[in-house]
Amino acid sequence: MSIPKAELHLHIEGTLEPELAFALAERNGVDLPYASTEELRQAYSFSDLQSFLDLYYALMAVLRTEQDFADLADAYLARAAAQGVRHAEVFFDPQAHTARGVPLGTVVEGLARALDRAPERHGVSTRLIMCFLRDESAESALETFEAARPHLHRISAVGLDSAEVGHPPSKFRAVYEAAAAAGLRRVAHAGEEGPPAYVREALDVLGVERIDHGIRSMEDPDLVARLVRDQVPLTVCPLSNVRLRCVDTLADHPLPAMLDAGLMVTLNSDDPAYFGGYAGDTFDAVAGALPLGEDDLRRLARNSFLAAFLDDDEELRAR
């Protein structure tokens, strides 16, 4: 569906399509343990978040130069624009690259090369959100933040992703305090596989403005009441939730119940190369599988602009 929308939950590394992965592997002399793009696609069958993350991190081996990151982001922005995305807030995982010897500056400047051109080339405005890997240490997150200081003019917000269970938001209090002091906005993945308590912690301890996923909030009526009262945006990703088996089928997804409850929900694609669809595909899929009307879809699209880190003028132009 090409209704104008903002994408607020999108991991740029999760837009690496098999064809681009093979092209970059060849360009960089990296051996992939798959004979073809078809064989790689067949590996996209996940039992949970971790089984996806294993492949997601492994395939990043092909990303080495600034140009690789620029090509990745430009390919995403072209696809997103074709599906009605006018504004994209893009996550990246610096530690997944620095751990492989790719400097943080290569990642940020490569992505920025594509993002800077996106308004003119694709009609898409952008923000960049630097995520910490929650299954790495709090010290590693702080070191990453310090290393990013020369690049903070490129970065709008910090986020928290990777394996959730056993890594509560409170582990990252210090780095979120440093980010807030530096004037950055804050978001965090919470309530994807982890419990509603992690959503509360993200709000209370990390001071986040948006919750990424948040679907397990529905298990806790008091938390739902709070999220409704404060209109905290939840960046929900139904195709991801089905592929990672957080939800059995799309028809079982809590999205309609979340809207009925009055939650400030947005619809997003998470890792579209792996989960079977970009932003427009996601709107089409939920429209086909769930009892949602035209007004619900318009509300989801409107919410995406209201929840974006845009100032008022930019918001009006993007819509």
Phi first, then psi, for residue 69 (nearest 5°) are -70, -35
**Contact string (CB under 5 A) for Zn ion, positions 211-240, x = contact:** ------------------------------
Burial string for 81-91 (b: 16+ CB within 10 Å, else e) reads bebbbbbbbbb
* Greatest Cα pair distance in the chain: 53
**Least distance between ligand HPA and beta carbon 95 (Å):** 12
Q: Which does 162 bind (CB under 5 to 8 A by kind): Zn ion, ligand HPA, none?
A: ligand HPA
By beta-carbon proximity to ligand HPA, the closer residue of 110 and 159 is: 159
Residues 319, 314: Cα–Cα separation, whole Å: 9
Residue 13, both tokens:
């590394």
Position of minimal CB gap to ligand HPA? 161
By beta-carbon proximity to Zn ion, the closer residue of 193 and 270 is: 270
Residue 217, both tokens:
């909030």
Q: Which does 68 bind (CB under 5 to 8 A by kind): ligand HPA, Zn ion, none?
A: none
Residues 101, 123: Cα–Cα separation, whole Å: 34
By beta-carbon proximity to ligand HPA, the closer residue of 126 and 162 is: 162
By beta-carbon proximity to Zn ion, the closer residue of 64 and 253 is: 253
**Least distance between Zn ion and beta carbon 191 (Å):** 12
Q: Which does 7 bind (CB under 5 to 8 A by kind): ligand HPA, Zn ion, none?
A: none
Q: What residues are annotated to the active site?
A: 192
Nearest to 138 by CA among 168, 110, 116: 168
Residues that bind ligand HPA (CB under 6 A): 11, 14, 49, 56, 161-162, 189, 192, 240, 270-271
Position of minimal CB gap to Zn ion? 270
Q: Site residues for Zn ion, window 250-279 (CB under 5 A)? A: 270
Residues 36, 42: Cα–Cα separation, whole Å: 10
Count of residues that interact with Zn ion, criterion CB under 5 A = 1
CA distances from 236 to 180, 211, 213, 218, 264 (A): 24, 9, 5, 12, 10
Say which amino acid occupies 306.
L
**Least distance between ligand HPA and beta carbon 270 (Å):** 5
Residue 232, SS3 per DSSP: coil
By beta-carbon proximity to Zn ion, the closer residue of 66 and 172 is: 172
Nearest to 112 by CA among 64, 81, 73: 73
Q: Would you tell me which residues interact with Zn ion (CB under 5 A)?
A: 270
